[in-house]
Amino acid sequence: MSAPPRPVPRSGVGVLDKASTVLSVIENGPVSLAEVVERSGLARPTAHRIAVALERLGLLTRDFEGRFVLGPRLGSLSVEAQRDRLVQRALPVLTGLAADTGLDARLFRRRAGRRICIASSPAEPSRDPVPVGACHPLTSGPVAQVLLAWEEPEQLYEGLRGARFTAAQLAAVRQRCWAYGPDSAAGDTVSCAVPVQLRTGRVVAALALSGTAARTGALPRRLLGRSLVDAAVLGDALGRAHAEFVPEAATRR
């Protein structure tokens, strides 16, 4: 039998408190409507109305057995809430990478069909070709591959439309946990990118080192990839920022 839900904070607004109670029942795993009623103490019509309303908002969804489970919108909200912390914790790591390698170190996030630079520590700040806030299509380059490679099949299919890489290339990226190649968004450069992932495996960002072929040529691909895998973990910085940020790639070394 599942453990009873922990005490739920009260707002004093009746409908919000009922919705919060329903969410607290479901957050521990899939439950049927009958179980929602039993564990929440709400009348069946009320529990059903609240659960269905939360489902319409994307805060709940159903599994294959028709039971209520937490919805995808909650995951998105959680990631957004951690965005500032991710950037703050990443900056020292990016700065260290730029200093150690002489390359530009950046952190990117996906927004619909585009990639956005959310943190940057270029080796030459006055000549940064991809400043914070720069936005480019997810159609080419290692960063785009990393941000798309772990998506669900439907989104992966949409992302491949007009892309200069294939599903087979993305499968290879998933297997080795990094991508390497030309990056047209940063001018005449090459980049190596790795994913920053949640414990669930969801990719929330891509970390990239970039530079001209002359600057990156002295670094073997394997060494460059390994250094970025370590950086994707963001050392203790991200690990301590939130327990969910863990290096899936590190478990494959």
**Do residues 200 and 192 touch, judged by C-beta distance below 8 A?**
no
For residue 110, the cross-strand partners are 115
Location of structure tokens 């599903």: 167
Q: Is 8 exposed, middle or buried (0-12, 13-18, 19+ CB in 10 A)?
A: middle
Q: Residue 190 forms beta bridges with which residues?
A: 182, 211
Could you list the mean pLDDT of each consecutive 10-residue stretch along the chain, which spans 253 residues? 53 82 85 92 93 89 85 63 68 84 88 86 76 88 94 86 92 91 80 80 84 72 62 48 40 38
What value, to the nearest 5°, has the Cα angle with vertex 205 and ends 20 and 175? 110
Amino acid at 111: R
Q: What is the C-alpha to C-alpha distance for residues 47 and 213, in angstroms, rounded to an integer?
A: 61
Which pTM value belongs to this model?
A: 0.62
Asked if 250 and 238 count as a contact pair (C-beta separation under 8 A), the reply is no
Helices (H), the chain: 14-26, 33-40, 44-56, 72-81, 83-101, 142-149, 153-159, 167-176, 213-216, 221-233, 235-241
Burial 96-121 (b: 16+ CB within 10 A, else e): ebbeebebbbbbbbbeebebebbbbb
In which region does residue 77 sit, left (phi positive, over 0), alpha (psi from -120 to 50) or beta (all else)? alpha
In which element (H, E) is residue 244 found?
none
Query: Would you state the torsion angle of the CA atoms of residues 45, 48, 49, 53, taken in this order, to the nearest 10 degrees?
Result: 180
Q: Residue 57: helix, strand or coil by DSSP?
A: coil
User: What's the confidence (pLDDT) of residue 237?
Assistant: 43
Write down the pLDDT at residue 44: 94
DSSP string, 143-167: HHHHHHHTS-HHHHHHHTTT-SS-H
- Quote the CA–CA distance of 105 and 227 in Å, as a whole number: 12
